[in-house]
Amino acid sequence: MTAEAAAAALDVARFDARQNSRHEDLAGDERGPAELGEWERIAQLLADAPSGTVYDPDTDDVVRAELAADAAAAAREAELREAMRIAARADELQALRELGALDQAEPREGDEAVREEPTRRAGGYIQDDVDAWLARALATRLGHYRGPAAREAAAGLLTPPVLAHAALLAELLRLVPGADVDQLAFAARLATTEPEATAALAAHLTHARPQAH
């Protein structure tokens, strides 16, 4: 936008402001004065600049600061919504635990972040049953873990013991189809104490599995 175009836009904004001031229902609208003030600022900016300068909002420090503030506010709002979601889901999981029904629940997208909330509430004590529930769900492809993308994403969201538990459990269930998961509780103990060794054992069982031809 050139200085001439900005001056013309300022004239229009001033005219609109005068018109609005004559209408009681529009006199209190803050958008008009704000728009007028912005055009006054831009027109003055171009008036003070060398002749021929073209206004570019991408290089306007005021606009850039406003956009940065808006982005920061949006990020804070998103963080608040996520915190509220995590708290609500943690309450739901806690209720299922108290009913003894956690193992029957299907995990949802975002539950990887929720697993830390019960631990935080317990003062840092790791909630083994929640970790075991997630590992079982990942191993048996329950809930949103049916999707390969979710299983792949879990590798970067869950802790090594949970991932090792899930990997070993999946291989044991392949070796003994129809086995009761409760009979394989030792997999969780192995993963908790020796996650690297457990992951290595799971990988060995995977490679040792007969390949289909």
- The domain tally of the chain equals 2
| Boundaries of domain holding 31 | 3-55
The answer to whether residues 78 and 175 belong to one domain is yes
Q: Is the pLDDT of residue 212 over 50?
A: no
Amino acid 24: pLDDT: 59
Q: Is the pLDDT of residue 123 over 80?
A: no
The structure's pTM equals 0.66
- Residue 151 is assigned to a structural domain of this protein: yes
Distance from C-alpha of 62 to C-alpha of 58, rounded to nearest angstrom: 10
Where residue 108 falls among pLDDT bands split at 50, 70, 90? very high
Residue, of 171 and 56, whose pLDDT is higher:
171
Residue, of 165 and 61, whose pLDDT is higher:
165
Residue, of 198 and 210, whose pLDDT is higher:
198
- Residue 63 is assigned to a structural domain of this protein: no
To the nearest 10°, report the CA torsion of 53, 54, 57, 62.
30
Where residue 126 falls among pLDDT bands split at 50, 70, 90? low
Distance from C-alpha of 32 to C-alpha of 13, rounded to nearest angstrom: 8
- Residue 37 is assigned to a structural domain of this protein: yes
Q: Is the pLDDT of residue 142 over 60?
A: yes
H runs (alpha helix) in 22-110: 24-27, 31-48, 61-98
Q: Is the pLDDT of residue 80 over 60?
A: yes
Where residue 165 falls among pLDDT bands split at 50, 70, 90? very high
Question: pLDDT digit string (tens) for 174-193?
Answer: 888 877 887 888 999 999 99
The answer to whether residues 49 and 75 belong to one domain is no
The answer to whether residues 38 and 76 belong to one domain is no
The answer to whether residues 180 and 131 belong to one domain is yes
